[in-house]
Amino acid sequence: MAGRKLEVRYEPSGTTAHVPPGTTLFNAAHWAGIPIESTCGGRGTCGKCKVQVLEGHAERTLADYRHVSGGLDEGWRLSCQCEIDGDMVVDVPRALMVPKAATMGVGRFVLLEPNAVKYLLTLTTPTIVDARSRLRRVIDALVIEGLEVTVAPSVLPRLSAVIGDDEVSVITATVVGDRLIDVENGDTTERAFGVSIDVGTTTVVATLMDLRSGGAAAVESTINRQAPFGADVLTRVSHTQMHGPEGLEQLRAAIVATIDGLLGSVCATAGIGRDDVLEVVAAGNATMLHLLLGVDPESIGHSPFIATFLEPQDLRAADVDVEIHPEGRLVLFPSIGAYVGADIVADMLATGVAREPVTRLLVDVGTNGEIVIGNEDRVVTTAAPAGPAFEGGQILHGMRATEGAIEGVVLDVEAGEEGAVRLQVIGGDVEPLGLCGSGLIDIVAQLRLTGLLDGGGMLLSPDEALAQEHPLASRLQVDDEGVRRFALTDDVMITQRDIRELQQAKGAIATGIEAAMRERGLTVAGLDEVLLAGSFGTYIDPLGARVLGLVPPVAVDRIRAVGNTASEGAKMALLSFREREVAFELPGFVEYLELSGVEDFNERFIANVGFPPLELVRPGAIAGDPAP
């Protein structure tokens, strides 16, 4: 799958890009972090992205004849039209202005070039001699801006109100992609917004972005209103199976209502109208995106796990009842497979996993653990069925990460004779009510590190702990059914059964990582970095993850929680049409490994249910760990 890579060196910086044949010089430059200006979206119409090819073959295109006819023999080409079919050296003139840019995601350099742009136009007076239609005046004025647009028919009735017959008109034209979607009187260019949405099974997050400044104007998250129909993807899918078209419509309406509520909320916060929102870019797992478009996800639920669509979508938001500008667009990230969804593609965009030379493992931990591994040369992804433990399911005192949930635990064996159990509780100084996923990982890792849990996952019995004079021995208990447990407080326990659940969950993910690394031909030594993504990943203690064997044993400072990179990726695609193009192309670059097709999966899974030897994973065990 990796294919032949071609090298392009960009002068005068000397930066090189390694790209597959057929990539344009413009996209390769962007890929390598070199900004080249363009106002037409890489359509070959604005002529601003001219570069000079110093070495290598560069076909002449029709757009070149139009825009650089005088310089063809000297190697001048429109970089957006020039496809790379051999190694090249290219000069990028300094004169190319660098547009506004920002660092987003995990150190990604993003040029502010949104797909939706408002243009301020001044139109001259029509006369008998210049009797162009109003529409033609607008189209011609946009050509001067470097754009060749198509026109949404709903613009036509507005034109006569906005453009008078007998005076110079100053109007604002709204262009999304290459489509003119609105004309307004006067200057409204400061009102151009987009919303990025991370459609999670549990939580949905919306961020209102100011497309002119690139800044976030409001952010809001809420529970997915589909929750009453099932906690996870599979129960949602079975709701549609059991209740047929009405069940599907219930779920569709629920997610649309969730998004509608968020849109109303972010618009109110920023004090803007829904009409000022020109685009929504959404990422989420394949099932959520199916439901959002009213597409039955049934076949995602069983082998051979077929999605109805994985491809990116770009549709009129109003057509699926998402209320923004009447001609505004809803753009869905593509998915890679039925269980490696658009959220993971957004993760990849935000982290640069497929675009940088460093080799990284990205894990998005949840009911499914999605795994991405590789670098700019080759990337393998897979999804491991972890089950509900990380979401607090099947855990005696498990709960979601809401107020009262223990999200962090330190077992302090040095603190006095009886030691201490230090808890970090969501909401601060409130009564701990249970354990959320990160707390669960923490307590199990701490039990392991303090010698209360053996490598097979068995808690010491109270007697064994007492015999060892373990300071925390008094916290070990046995319930009426003879099940061992550890008391975090008088009311919150972690049981031997809970630990077994967690072992199953982390074993599945570890096995998935192992399989993907094998497929990618990598060993632990070849891993430069481990990224924990997703809202849950943000809260996992890197050391805890290593101690449990959830992630491979690399130095702790190479394990990074990168936060909600799905949201971040969606924001990037909103602010940069080039980033969006990259996102749309990622599935074609990435290999998908279906775990159920891995022959020795079960044997390996069983081997991964246990914990790695402590001497390999305790703090300081690996070169590069912070000093103890």
**Site residues (CB under 8 A) for a copy of itself?**
59-62, 65, 83, 126-129, 131, 133-136, 139, 151, 153-154, 156-157, 159-161, 165, 293-296, 298-299, 303-311, 313, 315, 319-320, 337-338, 592, 594, 596-597
- Chain centre distance of CA 581: 14
Cβ-Cβ contacts under 8 Å for 417 (sequence gap 6 or more): 471
Distance between CA atoms of 121 and 138, rounded to whole angstroms? 8
Q: Are 192 and 118 in contact (CB under 8 A)?
A: yes
Considering the complex, state which of residue 334 and residue 369 has its C-beta at the smaller distance from a copy of itself: 334
Considering the complex, state which of residue 160 and residue 468 has its C-beta at the smaller distance from a copy of itself: 160
Considering the complex, state which of residue 100 and residue 136 has its C-beta at the smaller distance from a copy of itself: 136
Considering the complex, state which of residue 365 and residue 508 has its C-beta at the smaller distance from a copy of itself: 508
To a copy of itself, the closest distance from the beta carbon of 168 in angstroms equals: 14
Distance between CA atoms of 363 and 540, rounded to whole angstroms? 11
> Roughly what angle, to the nearest 10 degrees, separates helices 565-575 and 342-351?
80
Considering the complex, state which of residue 368 and residue 567 has its C-beta at the smaller distance from a copy of itself: 368
Peptide bond into 619 cis (omega under 30): no
Q: Are 301 and 234 in contact (CB under 8 A)?
A: yes
Considering the complex, state which of residue 180 and residue 409 has its C-beta at the smaller distance from a copy of itself: 180
Q: Which two tokens stand for residue 565?
A: 């990179």
To a copy of itself, the closest distance from the beta carbon of 281 in angstroms equals: 15
Considering the complex, state which of residue 58 and residue 572 has its C-beta at the smaller distance from a copy of itself: 58
What are the angstrom distances between the C-alpha of 61 and each of 56, 68, 72, 82? Answer: 16, 10, 10, 8
Considering the complex, state which of residue 136 and residue 422 has its C-beta at the smaller distance from a copy of itself: 136
Q: Which two tokens stand for residue 114?
A: 């949104």
Nearest-CA neighbor of 38 among 569, 577, 417? Answer: 577
Q: Across the chain, how many H-helices and E-strands are there?
A: 16, 29
3-state SS of 13-33 is: CCEEEEECCCCEHHHHHHHCC
SS3 category, 383: strand
To a copy of itself, the closest distance from the beta carbon of 330 in angstroms equals: 9
Distance between CA atoms of 462 and 73, rounded to whole angstroms? 85
Distance between CA atoms of 609 and 286, rounded to whole angstroms? 28
Q: Are 545 and 516 in contact (CB under 8 A)?
A: no
List residues bridging with 195 in a β-sheet.
208, 280
To a copy of itself, the closest distance from the beta carbon of 287 in angstroms equals: 13
Considering the complex, state which of residue 65 and residue 602 has its C-beta at the smaller distance from a copy of itself: 65
Considering the complex, state which of residue 210 and residue 370 has its C-beta at the smaller distance from a copy of itself: 370
Distance between CA atoms of 435 and 404, rounded to whole angstroms? 9
Considering the complex, state which of residue 97 and residue 131 has its C-beta at the smaller distance from a copy of itself: 131
Distance between CA atoms of 90 and 55, rounded to whole angstroms? 7
To a copy of itself, the closest distance from the beta carbon of 580 in angstroms equals: 16
Considering the complex, state which of residue 53 and residue 405 has its C-beta at the smaller distance from a copy of itself: 53
SS3 category, 379: strand
Give, as one character, the DSSP assignment of residue 329: E
- In 24-116, where does DSSP find H-type helix? 25-31, 62-67
Q: Are 622 and 553 in contact (CB under 8 A)?
A: yes
Nearest-CA neighbor of 196 among 175, 218, 227? Answer: 218
DSSP 391-458: GTTT-TTB--SSTTEEEEEEEESSSSTT-EEEEEETTSSS---EE-HHHHHHHHHHHHHTTSB-TTSP
Peptide bond into 297 cis (omega under 30): no
Considering the complex, state which of residue 338 and residue 443 has its C-beta at the smaller distance from a copy of itself: 338
Considering the complex, state which of residue 334 and residue 549 has its C-beta at the smaller distance from a copy of itself: 334
To a copy of itself, the closest distance from the beta carbon of 134 in angstroms equals: 5
